[in-house]
Structure 1
């Protein structure tokens, strides 16, 4: 975290568009550290995104949330620097450093002004190799996580999302909460966190993307200094491939709130499946296209059942989903579910029209570069392409892949995605109680 004028300076610089998106090079440092790199001197800023294999899938079954605790604590002091000293150095030099634990990866982000690159990379190296996990910081972060989990326990959207993953994946690691539970987080020890770092942080799964104002030779030396001392091999627990539960299934969580939340979805299509791009395009037509999507028109515009409704594809290393969400008045929940199911059944049976397909392809092609208009966004995209095992020239090829989707492809993907029906989770008041005024959030 950084604050004040320093944060404003980084925000202003990072909002300038990168003009070097197609000049992606594979850089290998003298010590063998590989990165995808875009040299861009538009602004004196460097953005780096990096990831190690593992993430929340490496949390022990009895201790979900371990990776999240580690991610929250790595920038809370390292080496001879306590948390206060570490953060003062970050803020003084306008350095942004953060970590997150996603389903399959332990990820990090580093942003700095060019003139502060040496100190930024030094602080990252220290965080990765010598985290302190001081007791006061551990308890402070633990209390923050627990406070967030308590809020989620009465938040219908959070409850629906968590229950959906449980329904879809059961006792597989993907079925557990990446942030942990009120029961698991108090049991996580410093020894657990040090063991996680020892198992997950290593060079064999490391992927790096850098965009910014730095020359290749200088960057190579910085990468060696930062990552070169990490262990060569990680010790990850194998994670099994898994298919999401077969629809249709429905779960209900009673919660005394005015608006009922509905999360729906089902098995998806993996990133390297030949039908992935057709699925990506047709998902935009059904629920990913905002105000232009079929679900929005049917649920919001025609029936006035919800303020918003959306759907997206989610792909992981070992499974894939489609997942959507909406919220409505308690007494109109059944009608809303029926409307969503009807529209999904219709596109599964009929597919999109040629006009819908043409419009979706036009939008998806035109919006690509707008989504990569900052150094940070481009670095995030380049890291994700590596994690998805896509070629380094994917940005150049992507629009042609979108363009190649035919109506037949789209209809086939629609049937694969939505032909079985839905896994549905409903969080809200019981039908009998929906006619009565709410008394405030209370979980049953």
Structure 2
């Protein structure tokens, strides 16, 4: 069972939008004075952030290992993705050994839930369990993380599922556009190729490659693993749980990749594909959360093409001209590269016009900036519109892990809205002038666009 792939199948273009999941989740965290975050250090030296909530006998645990699929070795693309899909397919030794069916039954019998997910910058594990079943649930989770067996038959079965996904992606214009954009953007970095691998690379993977991928990613190095727990558990209980769960993992993993060389150049690339709507992804150099201009840029992006129907692009492309159903842009802040990008789908007969409108609006904002009214509206939305989205132990645990992964301080949520509100009109318009580069945009088009030529 490859649960990690299901979310990606539902929305092929969500992956780049969530290239920095912490960005979208953590930056939307409302000011919640009642959320008291504690830092917990286990006897064995592992650290975690904890929010105690004892009103319901339930705990959500979130773990993320740095590197993720970017730790694939040369020629082994897709190994980490495949390995992640095998963690619940076989584990344990002797009488404790379980295949996927036995493991699934045991998890269900405890009313627990585990999920495993691999992405470009991390390998994430989510666990939910009742307090009364905590010990048994942690033992099961530990078995899958520390004692995976990677049975040969499971390797071949899951490989076949992934190969089917890869073949289906080759027929999906959205996925083709995303893949082509990555290939033109990230040079020789692992970001440049699909995390699932290619037919050739996945076909060649074997059980030994799974063991290597597991050893490279899953370690107990406190600098490589971020952990959060929310719910019915004390700091002392969490510390013991962490050592019990992860204490037997190796201390060192594979070398993390270095920064990606951004190779994106201006122009238009077209891949002919028989589809009534052309899929378009565009982008330019972006900026990361460590950049002092990040918050003005983050608000600026909301005004240009963020969520909602009031963005500049939505108004110009959809409302005024009827060229698309939806159009968005976002700051893709990955661990090793920063891109400002967007996406839209438009009728082949009008996609050239759509691209021109995007260029024109990018240039207009860079030249003229935004208005005080737009800035105020964006601030109001960004500081107050999200509270309901972040209810729930599991969601808060994911936010806390994202904050740790990206190096934010434990008290960041309390001052986040102040940082948004502190951005001035002068500041945001300076960032628009300096950071938006319409002449450097690269458009990746998949379809049969009329009146549009490739420009390289």
Taking structure 1 as the reference length, the TM-score comes to 0.90
Distance 1:232 1:137 in 2: 27
Q: Show the counterpart of 1:191.
A: 208
Distance 1:188 1:424 in 2: 34
Superposition pairs of residues 302-381 of structure 1, within 5 angstroms:
302-381=320-399
Distance 1:21 1:103, change over 3 A: farther
Distance 1:73 1:149 in 2: 17
Among candidates 45, 53, 66, match of residue 58 of structure 2: 45
Among candidates 140, 143, 164, match of residue 123 of structure 1: 140
Distance 1:212 1:376 in 2: 9
Aligned residues: 419
Shift of 1:183: 1.9
Among candidates 86, 94, 98, match of residue 81 of structure 1: 98
Distance 2:257 2:283 in 1: 23
Distance 2:48 2:434 in 1: 36
RMSD of aligned C-alpha atoms?
2.1
The superposition leaves residues 411-437 of structure 1 with CA deviations (integer Å, 9 ceiling, x where unpaired) of: 23223432243121000015389xxxx
1:252 equivalent to 2:270? Answer yes
Structure 2 unaligned segments of length 5 or more: list them: 4-29
1:426 equivalent to 2:445? Answer yes
Q: Show the counterpart of 2:46.
A: 33
1:55 equivalent to 2:72? Answer no
Distance 1:371 1:396 in 2: 18
CA contact (8 A) 1:352 1:411 kept: yes
CA contact (8 A) 2:62 2:398 kept: yes
CA contact (8 A) 1:22 1:395 kept: no
**Secondary structure, in 3 states, of the residue corresponding to 2:270?**
strand
Distance 1:432 1:348 in 2: 26
CA contact (8 A) 2:349 2:449 kept: no
1:212 equivalent to 2:231? Answer yes
**Secondary structure, in 3 states, of the residue corresponding to 1:385?**
helix
Shift of 1:136: 1.9
Distance 1:115 1:60 in 2: 42
Distance 1:417 1:24, change over 3 A: same
**Secondary structure, in 3 states, of the residue corresponding to 1:290?**
coil
Distance 1:18 1:396 in 2: 6
CA contact (8 A) 1:330 1:429 kept: yes
Hey, which bits of structure 1, 4+ residues long, moved more than 6 A? 17-20
Among candidates 208, 218, 223, match of residue 242 of structure 2: 223
Distance 1:160 1:100, change over 3 A: same
CA contact (8 A) 1:21 1:38 kept: no
Structure 1 unaligned segments of length 5 or more: list them: 4-16, 434-444
Distance 1:292 1:101, change over 3 A: same
1:106 equivalent to 2:146? Answer no
Distance 2:287 2:31 in 1: 31
CA contact (8 A) 2:352 2:449 kept: no
The superposition leaves residues 122-168 of structure 1 with CA deviations (integer Å, 9 ceiling, x where unpaired) of: 11211111101112211221111111111111111101011111111
1:161 equivalent to 2:178? Answer yes
Q: Show the counterpart of 1:12.
A: none
Distance 2:192 2:418 in 1: 35
The superposition leaves residues 341-377 of structure 1 with CA deviations (integer Å, 9 ceiling, x where unpaired) of: 1111111122211111111011111134333211111
**Secondary structure, in 3 states, of the residue corresponding to 2:44?**
coil
